[in-house]
Structure formats: C-alpha cells, structure tokens
Amino acid sequence: MTAENGLKASLRDKVTDGAFRLLLTLARTLPYERRVPVAGWVISRLIAPLAGWSRRVRDNLALVCPDLPEAEVRHLVRAVADNVGRTTIELYSGREFIKRVRDLPLTGPGAEALEAAHRGGRPVILATGHFGNYDVARAALIARGYRVGALYKPMKNPLFNAHYLDTISVIGTPLFPRGQKGMGAMVKFLRSGGMLGLLMDQHMGRGEKLSFFGHPAYTATSAADLALKYGAEIIPVYGVREPDGLNFRIVTDAPIPHSDPLTMTQAINDSLERLVRDHMDQWFWIHRRWK
C-alpha cells in the first residue's frame, strides 16, 4: 500500500495505523467531556509503557532534574502521557475543539504586541513548544480572523501522516511541511504579513548547541533567522491546560528583542523552560530532547 505522499507503508505502519484508527473510532462515540480524559487514561496506562515513553520520561527527568522525589517522578510519568493523550484526541475532535478554545483571551506581556501586529498586517513568528496543547493558540487565532500558518514535521508512518495532516488542516491552513518543499511557500506567507507557528523544542542535529534546563540542547535557529531577514516579531505563545484537564488559557511572553540568532533562540528556550518549570506535567518529556 502506498500513501498519498508516495511513501510505501510497511506492515508495521499498517498495524499501528489500524490500531490507532480503531481507538479513535471508539473514542469518538463518547461526548467530548468524557472523550478527552478517557484518551488520557488509555495513553498513560496502556500505550505509554508499551511505547517506551515511561522510561524516556524517567530518563529525561533523571538528567535535568535529578533531585526530584521518586513520588513526583511517578506522578509525572503518568501525567505527561495523560496530557499527550488528551492533546491527541483534542486535535482529532476538530470543530468541538475549536469551539472550546476560539474565544479564549490572549494573556501575558506579548498579548498587546500580537494584537497590534494583527491589526497592522505585520509578520509574526509564534514560537512555541510541545506543551499543554500546542495548537490551542493557532485554533483560537484563526477562528477570530488572524492569518496563521504553521510548519509541521511529516510523520514517519505515511498512513498516519495522511490523516494527521487532514486533522490539523481542519483547525486551519496554510500548513508547510518541514524541508525545502515547504520553505518557499512559508517565506512567501510570512513576507505577506502572515503569522507563522513554529515548534522550537525538538532535538535538531544540525542546530546550535544551546541550553535547555541547564543542559546542551541542539536547537534550530530558524525562527530568529526568519525574523531578522524578514522583519518579523517573535512572540512566544502557549496553550496552558487548566487544572480541570479540559479548558485552557493562552499565555504570551514578551516579544524577543532582535539581536543575533543565538541570543534570540536561547531566549526562546528560556521562555519555554520558565513555563515548563511552572507546569512540569504539561511538557512532552517523551521527546529525546537531549542527545
């Protein structure tokens, strides 16, 4: 079987995608308020241990927060996977998810600058990370008329990638695949005064050796490079999950001052780190951030 992007799906790809689609079908039979916590439970109790996520969360915490009490580590192993599960089903809930977040106010020191850029049609890079639900701000801003595009990394499983792209397209477009194919359209969109969402918190082998949680973390300087070249503001923005597990608030940080790519990118890392330290259970500790 060959996916729409031309990549051939392996047997493992087919089995994994089939299992996910089955779980998705079952979850969608539940009302939204039950669907979200159930998805969190399934991922945290069943999927995370099998996928090796629990061990990865432990390893990451042992590296950067070695003094955490064991009870807190056990809590985070479950809570992090629970947030991943909730985020996944929220994205696959399309219009229900958008309805939930569309009217959320912008809060934080970057809110006024973001609103002013929208009114003036000026380009903005919305720097964020895999935290809370990373598509809350994009969904809310698009729903109220902002021109927001996003860079995304195609999934390795071509079958999964096809329906994932369809899913995040419901929230809004344009979407630009990472790599040369999407770069030209992305730059054109930014230069026209669009806002571009970039997830900045994954390991980039060709990135710069910067710091995250006090340890070397190779980070792409693409946000700073684009901002300096095309005169765009960089405003960190996050969808912070509320204690009830269903609702959110949109938090912005102050715009990153233009200086040089390394200084600006480190400031983005620092912004995310501050928020993660306040909400340790909401960052995707399942990623191999430090290599």
Q: Which tokens in the block code for residue 80?
A: 């992090």
> How far are the Cα atoms of 21, 70, 118 from residue 234, in angstroms, in the given order?
37, 38, 13
- Residue 2 covered by a domain: no
Cα–Cα distance for residue pair 72/236, rounded to 1 Å: 28
| pLDDT at residue 7, as a whole number | 57
Own/partner pairs, 160-168, CB within 8 angstroms, 24+ separation: 160/13, 160/16, 160/17, 160/20, 161/3, 161/5, 162/3, 162/4, 162/5, 163/21, 167/91, 167/92, 167/94, 168/91, 168/135
- Residue 289 covered by a domain: no
Residue that has been written with the tokens 């809370």 in this structure: 132
- Residue 222 covered by a domain: yes
Domain that holds residue 25: 11-282
Maximum distance among all alpha carbons in the chain? 51
Q: Which of 95-99, 106-110, 143-147, 168-172 has the lowest mean pLDDT?
A: 168-172
Taking 90 as the threshold, does the pLDDT of residue 154 lie above it? no
- Residue 266 covered by a domain: yes
- Residue 99 covered by a domain: yes
- Number of separate domains in the chain: 1
Residue that has been written with the tokens 């608030």 in this structure: 249
Report residue 29: phi and psi, to 5°.
-75, -15
- Residue 239 covered by a domain: yes
3-46 per-position pLDDT tens digit: 444 557 788 778 777 888 888 888 889 999 999 999 999 999 99
67-117 per-position pLDDT tens digit: 999 999 999 999 999 999 999 999 999 999 999 999 999 999 999 999 999
- Residue 89 amino acid letter: I
- Residue 260 covered by a domain: yes
- Residue 108 covered by a domain: yes
182-222 per-position pLDDT tens digit: 889 999 999 999 999 999 999 999 999 999 999 999 999 99
57-79 per-position pLDDT tens digit: 999 999 999 999 999 999 999 99
